[in-house]
Structure 1
């Protein structure tokens, strides 16, 4: 299976798991037949559309936002989500780069270091976005809801990372 196909399978699997609102647990579901023919960009956009709609419903339900909180929270969340969208796109690009490196006969030191540095930069950017939005969210949400919101964000991100780690094979050691 090519790396693009692996990526599609991983994304479909982890996001189907993420949106099982009642479970919040990782499943081992297989993607529907024919996914190998799906374009990677189409798959990512489909998943993002589903994610945005279903995760917003989950947030509304779990945070039990009042009408007043909702008026301020959703515009702030949409800005935050837009910023995180860029980081998540960066992550997908890194996974694709890893796939390209895997298909090569050898991996150069410069390519390896570059990929790792990019992953560090991506992590820093994600943390920066979360930190920069904390004051905004703390001005909107009462303390308990603020903590719950960041817990939900961390839980969702951890779930995605675990699923990616489970599904993407380790880099092969070529001689």
Structure 2
């Protein structure tokens, strides 16, 4: 998996707790999820039959992916502070690299299973549009966060 695909999501997860200062995390996540559903609905232009089959699969995938990232990445970010990195032994660093690789592999296998499920209900072109739309959404969300942070 390429770093350019992981970086926006990783940055989002790292900065996500800062959003929690004004509202709790669940409320923010629900707002973002609703915004994402609206965005993807517009981009994918699903038929009603496609939509009926797509959303349960997508929501299950999205929830599992979020939980996996939240669970694993939270542990990593604690270890990635400047102070922790300075004091980290080579053995601890190797262990962390292994944990990151394992998480990347789990996310890849989850995505692969998700794509396999989508192939049964959507044409290949819409699967590609979905992938692009997810990247566009993540970029848009990151830009909004940067704009909001820049105004404060």
Please, what TM-score do these two structures have when normalized by structure 2?
0.69
Contact 2:54–2:121 under 8 Å retained in 1: yes
Q: Identify if the C-alpha distance between structure 1 residues 69 and 83 changes in structure 2 by more than 3 Å, giving closer, same or farther.
A: same
Question: Relative to 1, partners in 2 of residues 1:121 and 1:151: Cα closer, same or farther, differing over 3 Å?
Answer: same
Higher relative contact order by CA 8 Å / sep ≥ 6: 1 or 2?
A: 2
Q: Which runs of 5+ in 1 are unaligned?
A: 1-6, 14-30, 164-175
**1:73–1:140 CA contact under 8 A, matched in 2:** yes
* 1:95 CA drift (Å): 1.5
Distance 1:85 1:107 in 2: 28
1:78 aligns with 2:83: no
| More helix as a share of residues | 2
1:63 matched residue in structure 2 = 44
Q: Hey, what's the Cα distance between the residues in 2 that align with 1:8 and 1:118?
A: 17
C-alpha RMSD of the superposition: 3.2
Q: Match for residue 113 of structure 1?
A: 94
After superposition, where does 1:1-175 map in structure 2 within 5 Å?
10-11=15-16, 38=21, 42-43=24-25, 45-89=26-70, 90-99=72-81, 102-104=82-84, 106-156=87-137, 159=139
Match of 1:173 in 2: none
CA deviations over 1:110-142 (Å, ceiling 9, x no partner): 221122111111111111011111121111112
Aligned residues: 129
**C-alpha separation in 1, matches of 2:31 and 2:129:** 22
Deviations 1:9-33 (A, max 9, x none): 83378xxxxxxxxxxxxxxxxx7xx
Which 4+ residue blocks in structure 1 deviate beyond 6 angstroms? Answer: none
